[in-house]
Structures are given as structure tokens and as C-alpha cells.
């Protein structure tokens, strides 16, 4: 009887240790999150000073930053102490041999807490943690447990700190909004997989983050320069001409899109439907940006694209034959050399024009565009890859990039409007400023239909007018036949 009592007391003691271990693990998770929030607030103070162009914190900002750092230090010390206690008690429970299913679950929870910062908050194909569902539930105020808001805040911290969010132009945090509005990185990259044209031309030009707090970018430009000449004799007049300057204006424009989603889909969907919605919205956004860069008219909220920029040179083909087009491209290359005094960097054309080149044969019915592996002889160009919206080959030693967003009914260079254009350009002279793509959830707009409105938008400015002589458009290319 005595032995049984002792046994029972031992089991109760072991069970109590398990409960205490669970309490410690729960407390560690809470402290870990408190420290992460303090770190996020401290980094927000630094980010505000950086966005305002200040290298030093103001006194009140410095005091606030020090407070957050003190909180982090205190909470970090508590985490270290909790880790020591958790390890101590875990070892004793294991040593006593009283590990049961409850303890196994607690240990799994411990592993989750320890590794929570090593995993992405939102992962592809995970219906339990949907970025868009969390955004919607917070907007609808149906986040009863607070878990959705908590995940969005931790995602915002990832946006501010993880390197993958600095590698893509669409996820720049410029613009002064919280990182919670920046969709996960894997969603932002999906547009390259969809059956929509991407942004091949826009990705070639020089890209810069859009400065905050402005609706127009003015770029100084020298209009006429100084002069230098031979001095006719000692102590005679030296050539002296004042330079004049002007500026190029690039207004900030908005590109946006939206999708209405039934609230029933939000409540009942077993899948992460943000995967579907964002793939198409971001794909459409990429194509719209590229089209603006190419042929935005500068009116009606559009940027002034390459086609309508004053000073862009044009070369008309003598005939739509290999001789006529080949000569026109050579002429365009020398125009960039002689007017910009630097070499062009790329040739951009519509995929149908590149296909037409590949269909051309010489007088002996031999292809004029061949893969390098074929051992080229007297070829007009090189076929490097059967690809889309990227480098597909070479002509005149320059890479050839195809872009299906190039208009095949171009009206800027052709009154008839039935042609595509080949661009020979020095892409680094063209500048595209972009903010990050932002996401919004609007539950009120179509509330009468139980519909939630999902939106994405960003701001951009564009200019090819810094050096318009860096772009030569080849016109007169009527629709090819195959």
C-alpha cells in the first residue's frame, strides 16, 4: 500500500513538472514576441530618420530608441533565463523516464517557438496561413483571437529585415507604409509563370526607388555646354562660353488594380486563394507597367513613354527584307555612337519580329539565324535560347530581348498603325522610379453584396528624356509573313 502511494506521488510530481514546463515554454513564446515587437518599434524609429535623410536621431527619437533597446535587453535576458530553466526541467523529466504524449506535444511546441523566426510567416500552398485571408479578417474586424494581426505584424518585421525583400523592385518598402501591406515575396514573383506578358523592357532600364513625399521628379540637364578652343597667341582671349541648363520633369503616376471576392469564399475556402488572386493582379500590373514605359502618352494619368518622348531618333527601313532591316539596325547602332558618344547596350523587338528573323533563308535556303552550336558561317544573327521576354540571341554583338508588349499597331512612328518597332538603345540612360506594390482590403465598398474588394497599387515615374539620343526606333516594319 505504501509503495503504491509513493508511486502515485511520483507520477503527480512528474505530471506537475510537465505542466510547469508547458508554462515556461508558453512564457518564453510571449517574451520572444514582446522582444520582437520592441525591435520592430526601434527599427521603425531608425527607418523614419533614414527616409527623412537624417543621419542623427532627434533627442526625443533617441530617448524612444534607447527605451526600446533597454526593453530588448531586459526581455533577452529573461529569454536566456527561461531557456536555462526549460532545459533543466526537460532533462529531469527525461531522466525520470516519465515522457508521455503530452510532453512530446510540448517539446514540439518548444521546437516551434525556437524556430519561429527561421520560417516564413506565409508559405506557398499553406491554407492555414493565408496572407490575404489575414488581411481580410483584420479589415472585417473578425480576428477574434488576434492571431491574424499578430502574423501580419511579424510579416511586417520580416519585410523590414529579411534580404529576400530587397532583391525585387516590386517589394521595395519606399512610400512610408507599413510592411504588413507588402505581399509575401513568393507571391510577388509569380508573374513570370503566368500567361501574361511581363515587363521585359521595364526590367532593362535603370531602376531606382521612388522618393517619398513628391508627386514629380525634376532632373537637371545641361542644355548647352562650355567651349574650348585654340588660343591664337600668348595673352590673347581664351574661349569662354557659359553653359545653360534646363530640367526634365517626370510626374509620379499610379498603377492599380482590384478584384472583388465573395465573403463566402473568405469564410469557407479550404485553400489559400490569395495565391490565385495575387498571381493575376501582379501579372496584370507587370504588363501595365511595361506598356507605360514603352508607349505611355504622358496624358490622362499616363507616364511619358519611350515612343512619345521628344528627340527619340527613328530610322525607316528601306524594305522589309533581311537587307533592309539589317542595314537599318546597323544605322541605328551608329546613331547611338555618334549622338550619345557611348555604345548601345541592347536590341529589343516583338517576338513576332524575332520569329520572322529566324524564318529567313539565304539564296541557298540556309537559315540566317542559327544556334552557336551549329558552327556559324556568314550568319546574320545568333539564336542563343528559345526563351520569352529575355535575351534570346545576338545581332551585331548586342543581346536581343523580346517583349510582347511592344505594340504591333504602333501609331507613334507609323501613320498607318500596322507595324511593330525595333528599339536599339542604351538602356542605362533611361530611368524608372518605382515604389513598392501595396495591398489593400476594403470590406465596406461592396458590403451590400457581401463582397470584399482586394486592391493592389504602386507609384512610378519614368523618363527617357535625359538622353533621348540613346534610343533609336526602327520604323516601317509592316506585319511579317511566314
Q: Which ranges of 140-268 would DSSP assign to H, the alpha helix?
A: 147-161, 185-188, 200-204, 263-268
Q: pLDDT value at position 152?
A: 80
pLDDT score at 162? 64
Question: Does the pLDDT value for residue 455 go beyond 70?
Answer: yes
Does some domain include residue 17? yes
Check whether 242 has a pLDDT greater than 70.
Answer: yes
In terms of phi and psi (left: phi > 0; alpha: psi -120 to 50; beta: otherwise), the region of 37 is: alpha
Supply the pLDDT for residue 10: 39
Average pLDDT over residues 217-234: 87
User: What is the predicted pLDDT for the residue at 194?
Assistant: 40
Residues 87-136 have pLDDT tens digits of 888 777 666 655 455 555 555 555 544 444 445 677 666 656 677 777 77
Parallel, antiparallel, or unpaired for β 313-316 and 471-478?
parallel
Burial class (CB in 10 A: 0-12, 13-18, 19+), 480: middle
- Whether 429 is in a domain gets the answer no
User: Looking up cell 482590403, which residue turns up?
Assistant: 441
d(CA 445, CA 456): 15
Q: pLDDT band for 174, please (50, 70, 90 cuts).
A: very low
CATH number, position 81: 1.20.58
Specify if 319 maps to a domain.
Answer: no
Contact 246, 223 (CB under 8 A): yes
In sequence order, the 6+-apart residues with CB closer than 8 A to the CB of 70 are none
Does residue 259 form part of some domain? no
- Between 301 and 55, whose confidence is greater? 301
Q: Is residue 357 pLDDT above 60, yes or no? A: yes
Grid cell at residue 227: 567651349
Q: Let me know: does 383 contact 265? Beta carbons within 8 Å.
A: no
Closest CA to 324 of 285, 301, 356, 283: 356
Residue 292 maps to a domain: no
Domain count, the chain: 1
Helix, strand or coil, per DSSP, at residue 381: strand
State the chain's mean pLDDT as an integer: 79
Q: Which residues contact 480 (CB under 8 A, 6 or more apart)?
A: 320, 352, 353, 355, 356, 359
Q: Who has greater pLDDT, 288 or 97? A: 288
pLDDT band at 6 (very low <50, low <70, confident <90, very high): very low
Tell me the HSE value of 326 on the side-chain side, using a 13 A CA sphere: 14
Q: Position of cell 551585331?
A: 396
pTM exceeding 0.75: no
From the list 147, 149, 31, the residue with the least C-alpha distance to 85 is 31
Full DSSP string of 121-148: SS-TT-TTS-HHHHHHHHHTT--SSSHH
DSSP string, 199-227: -HHHHHSEEEEPPSS-SEEEEEEEEE---
347 in a structural domain: no
Give the pLDDT confidence score for residue 48 in this predicted structure.
78
Residue 161: its pLDDT value, please? 64
Which pLDDT does position 22 carry in this prediction?
81
* Residue 167 scores a pLDDT above 90: no
Handedness of CA 462, 465, 469, 473 (dihedral sign): positive
Asked if 266 and 142 count as a contact pair (C-beta separation under 8 A), the reply is no
pLDDT computed for residue 165 by the predictor: 56
On the question of pLDDT at 424 being above 50, the answer is yes
Nearest by Cα to 205 from 464, 436, 388, 457: 464
Domain of residue 31 covers 1-119
DSSP letter for 321, please.
Answer: S
- Residue 155 burial by Cβ neighbours in a 10 Å radius (0-12, 13-18, 19+): buried
User: Which range is least confidently modeled, 74-88, 109-123, 460-474?
Assistant: 109-123
Nearby residues of 108 by Cβ (< 8 Å), 6 or more positions away: none
pLDDT tens for 195-221 read: 567 889 999 999 998 888 888 898 888
CB-based contact 241:227 (threshold 8 Å): yes
> Is residue 450 included in any domain, yes or no?
no
Has residue 257 been placed in a domain?
no
Q: Which residue has the cell 507571391?
A: 187
Distance CA 10, CA 52 (A): 63
Q: Calculate the alpha carbon distances from 446 to 259, 278, 454 in Å.
A: 11, 20, 11
The pLDDT score that the predictor gives to residue 88 is: 84
Which helix (H) or strand (E) segment is 439 a member of? strand 438-446
Amino acid at each position: 500500500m505504501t509503495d503504491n502511494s509513493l508511486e502515485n506521488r511520483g507520477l503527480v510530481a512528474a505530471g506537475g513538472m510537465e505542466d510547469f514546463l508547458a508554462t515556461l515554454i508558453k512564457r518564453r513564446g510571449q517574451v520572444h514576441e514582446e522582444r520582437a515587437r520592441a525591435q520592430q518599434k526601434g527599427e521603425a524609429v531608425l527607418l523614419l530618420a533614414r527616409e527623412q535623410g537624417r543621419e542623427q536621431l532627434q533627442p526625443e527619437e533617441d530617448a524612444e530608441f534607447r527605451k526600446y533597446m533597454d526593453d530588448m535587453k531586459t526581455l533577452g535576458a529573461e529569454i536566456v533565463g527561461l531557456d536555462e530553466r526549460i532545459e533543466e526541467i526537460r532533462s529531469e523529466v527525461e531522466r525520470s523516464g516519465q515522457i508521455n504524449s503530452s510532453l512530446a506535444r510540448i517539446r514540439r511546441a518548444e521546437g516551434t517557438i525556437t524556430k519561429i523566426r527561421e520560417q516564413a510567416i506565409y508559405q506557398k500552398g499553406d491554407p492555414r496561413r493565408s496572407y490575404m485571408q489575414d488581411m481580410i479578417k483584420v479589415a472585417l474586424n473578425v480576428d477574434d483571437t488576434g492571431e491574424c494581426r499578430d502574423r501580419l505584424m511579424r510579416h511586417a518585421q520580416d519585410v523590414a529585415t529579411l534580404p529576400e525583400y530587397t532583391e525585387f523592385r516590386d517589394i521595395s518598402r519606399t512610400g512610408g507604409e507599413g510592411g504588413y501591406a507588402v505581399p509575401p515575396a513568393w507571391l510577388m514573383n509569380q508573374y513570370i509563370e503566368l500567361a501574361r506578358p511581363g515587363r521585359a523592357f521595364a526590367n532593362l532600364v535603370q531602376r531606382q526607388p521612388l522618393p517619398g513625399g513628391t508627386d514629380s521628379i525634376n532632373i537637371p540637364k545641361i542644355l548647352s555646354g562650355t567651349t574650348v578652343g585654340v588660343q591664337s597667341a600668348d595673352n590673347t582671349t581664351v574661349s569662354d562660353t557659359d553653359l545653360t541648363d534646363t530640367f526634365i520633369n517626370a510626374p509620379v503616376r499610379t498603377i492599380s488594380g482590384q478584384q472583388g471576392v465573395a465573403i463566402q469564399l473568405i469564410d469557407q475556402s479550404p485553400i489559400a486563394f490569395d495565391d490565385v488572386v495575387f498571381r493575376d493582379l501582379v501579372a496584370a500590373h507587370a504588363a501595365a507597367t511595361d506598356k507605360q514605359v514603352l508607349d505611355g502618352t504622358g496624358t490622362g494619368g499616363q507616364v511619358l513613354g519611350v515612343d512619345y518622348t521628344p528627340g527619340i531618333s527613328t530610322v525607316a527601313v528601306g524594305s522589309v527584307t533581311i537587307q533592309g532591316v539589317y542595314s537599318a539596325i546597323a544605322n541605328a547602332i551608329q546613331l547611338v555612337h555618334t549622338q550619345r558618344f557611348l555604345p548601345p547596350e541592347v536590341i529589343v523587338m516583338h517576338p513576332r519580329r524575332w520569329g520572322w528573323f529566324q524564318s529567313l533563308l539565304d539564296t541557298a535556303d540556309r537559315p540566317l539565324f542559327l544556334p552557336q552550336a551549329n558552327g556559324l558561317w556568314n550568319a546574320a544573327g545568333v539564336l542563343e535560347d528559345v526563351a520569352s521576354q529575355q535575351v534570346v540571341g545576338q545581332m551585331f554583338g548586342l543581346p536581343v530581348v523580346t517583349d510582347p508588349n511592344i505594340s504591333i499597331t504602333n501609331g507613334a512612328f507609323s501613320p498607318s498603325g500596322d507595324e511593330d518597332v525595333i528599339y536599339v538603345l542604351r538602356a542605362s540612360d533611361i530611368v524608372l522610379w518605382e515604389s513598392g506594390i501595396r495591398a489593400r482590403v476594403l470590406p465596406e465598398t461592396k458590403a451590400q453584396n457581401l463582397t470584399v474588394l482586394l486592391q493592389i497599387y504602386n507609384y512610378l515615374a519614368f523618363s527617357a528624356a535625359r538622353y533621348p539620343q540613346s534610343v533609336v526606333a526602327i520604323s516601317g516594319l509592316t506585319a511579317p509573313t511566314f
